[in-house]
Amino acid sequence: MKTHITLLIACLVFFAEKAVSQSETSYRAETFGSVSSGDNTPFWMQYHNWGMVPLDANNFYVRGGAFHEQKINKDWSFKAGLDIAGSSPHSYGSLWIQQLYGELNWRFVRLNIGSKEDYTSSLNPYLSSGDFSYSNNSRPMPEVKISVPEFLLIPKTKGNMYIKGDFAVGKYMDGNYMEDVAKPHGQSYEKDVLSHHKSIYFRFGNIEGKHKLQFTLGLDHQVQWGGTLYQKDKNAPGGYNIVKQPKGLDDFFRVMIAKEGSSKSTFGDNAYVAGSQVGSYTLKLDYKLKDKESISLYTQHFFDDGSGMVFENYKDMLLGVEYKSGKKQLLSGAVLEYIYTKQQTGPIHFNMMMDDEHDGIRNKGNGNDNYYNNLDYVQGRSYYGRTMGTPLFLSPEYNTDGSLVFKSSRIIAFHLGIEGYLHPTFKYNLLATTGRSWGTYYVPYKSVKDGVASLLNLTYTPPKMPDLDVKLSLGFNTGKYFGRDTFGAGITIVKKGIICKK
């Protein structure tokens, strides 16, 4: 992967030297520090920042990046970026590359290679509780992705129908982290896992154009596959049964279309589908009030297997309403969401190992979907221990027993996010979530855990220094859902600027 990134960047530099075009090279420097009254950083201070803030309390990080954009002609352009970060003890170590990517654009098609903070969800990236499939909560992983990133008008639909989507393959780089966490406790883990994801979105109407109303329908599909599984087994040499999942072209095809694994796969992959496969449906209705002001209603339905795809877990969903003013005013944006994931198609799950007497129901028991968890890929929807989807299913990095599973996925929660301007140079952002968690069907909590998590951000941009932001963050948790009562405060300073432009 690193070789591919280097070759792409080298090609982009070559084209840049040959082209007579517009270009801009910019930089971004950021520093953050926080203190907390508990062992962990307050819940919402850790999320919506691509995994930058460490879990442990009393932390800091610094990061700096350089980014280049080049427009060659009306059809071709490219971007490249390098973003390096360092922090107090973190899952990634003390120094790491947060972003390293090259991006080539041709008309409406884009090719990305590398690790890039690329948010594609239709949910608000800063006010929402988080997309079920893929949010901006974990560090970006290296991948090769081809996409139509912006809605493209479908010809001959009279301006009424649009489409966008992506297709990507990548690799999880957190194998050593998982080994360091799980092995001392005799827990299962995996290494060298591959990823695949794809999405497709259709939009009907355009509120930025002639329409007052637009409707968006989307499907997102995420897969973990391949890799080496280290399954705890006290009778095996070293206490682990080591299994290498196949990762040939045929195996990728099976992963891509959610087909059962080959004969070389583990029992779970062979009996059901190859890899750990999850996804979501998103429906969104936008209504234009006036100018750039709009209100939106949306819902997202998560699926962890075939039963979820056909809505047997119909009660589980995210429901939301969002307001956007399009102006710098006291209330410029607001989100209210309801999240319910208790059903999971019921508590019972039958499987292929049942005896002949139960042949009639062997494949009928579709319950206990156990969101974000998988028999073989024990890390589930996490990367370096942090959720890749909603943070309301508490990330595995909260676990103290070395396990890499999600222990809190049956929840009911209400979430509020609002933002606005107290002054054109003074912005606020407020998040507040109240919820209850029942644990999981496999391991329910002995008693229901309740809690509240909140965050207030105040950002000041000096009038004479528009490229400088100073943000004060105040976070507070109470109850057992999000951990014990914790208060924390943090300061973030961001400086951006142009290195050269022509």
What CA–CA distance (Å, rounded) separates 290 from 325?
9
C-alpha span between 106 and 75 (Å, rounded): 5
Measure the CA dihedral 279/283/286/292, to 10°: 0
Q: How far apart are CA 87 and CA 227, in angstroms?
A: 29
CB 376 within 8 A of CB 398: no
- CA–CA distance, 447 with 261 (Å, rounded to integer): 38
pLDDT of residue 261: 79
In the chain, the N- to C-terminal Cα span, in Å, equals 32
Q: What does the alpha-carbon distance between residue 339 and residue 40 come to, in Å, rounded to a whole number?
A: 24
| pLDDT given at position 336 | 98
CATH fold of the domain at 2-22+39-149+162-501: Porin (2.40.160)
What does each C-alpha distance from 502 to 23, 35, 65, 141, 444 come to in angstroms? 5, 43, 20, 32, 60
pTM of the model: 0.92
Taking CA atoms, 40 is separated from 244, 390, 473, in Å, by 36, 19, 15
Contact (Cβ atoms closer than 8 angstroms) between residue 252 and residue 243: no
User: Comparing C-alpha atoms, which of 39, 338, 399, 28 is closest to residue 187?
Assistant: 399
Provide the pairing of β-strand 276-290 with 213-225: antiparallel
C-alpha 326/C-alpha 42 separation (Å) is 30
Q: Which H/E stretch holds residue 270?
A: helix 267-271
* Token representation of residue 213: 């109303």
CA-to-CA distance for 297 and 83, rounded, in angstroms? 36
In the chain, domain spans: 2-22+39-149+162-501
Backbone angles phi, psi at 253, to 5 degrees: -60, -40
Answer for the pair 317, 299: CB distance below 8 angstroms, yes or no: yes
Rg (CA), the chain: 23
The pLDDT, as a whole number, for residue 360 is 52
Taking a C-beta distance cutoff of 8 angstroms, is the pair 207, 292 a contact? no
DSSP structure class, residue 165: E
Q: How far apart are CA 149 and CA 161, in angstroms?
A: 16
Continuous H helices in 383-434: none
Digit-by-digit pLDDT tens for the chain (502 residues) are: 555 555 555 555 555 555 456 899 999 999 999 999 989 999 999 999 999 999 999 999 999 999 999 999 999 999 999 999 999 999 999 999 999 999 999 999 999 999 999 999 999 999 999 999 999 999 999 999 999 999 999 999 998 999 999 999 999 999 999 999 999 999 999 999 999 999 999 999 999 988 999 999 999 999 999 999 999 998 898 899 999 999 989 989 998 988 887 878 887 777 678 889 999 999 999 999 988 899 999 999 999 988 888 899 999 999 999 999 999 999 999 999 999 999 998 887 665 555 566 555 445 557 889 999 998 999 999 999 999 999 999 999 999 999 999 999 999 999 999 999 999 999 999 999 999 999 999 999 999 999 999 999 999 999 999 999 999 999 999 999 998 889 999 999 999 999 999 8
Q: In terms of Cα–Cα distance, which of 245, 244, 243, 240 is closest to 255?
A: 245
- SS3 label, residue 398: helix
Angle at 117 between CA 113 and CA 120, to 5 degrees: 95
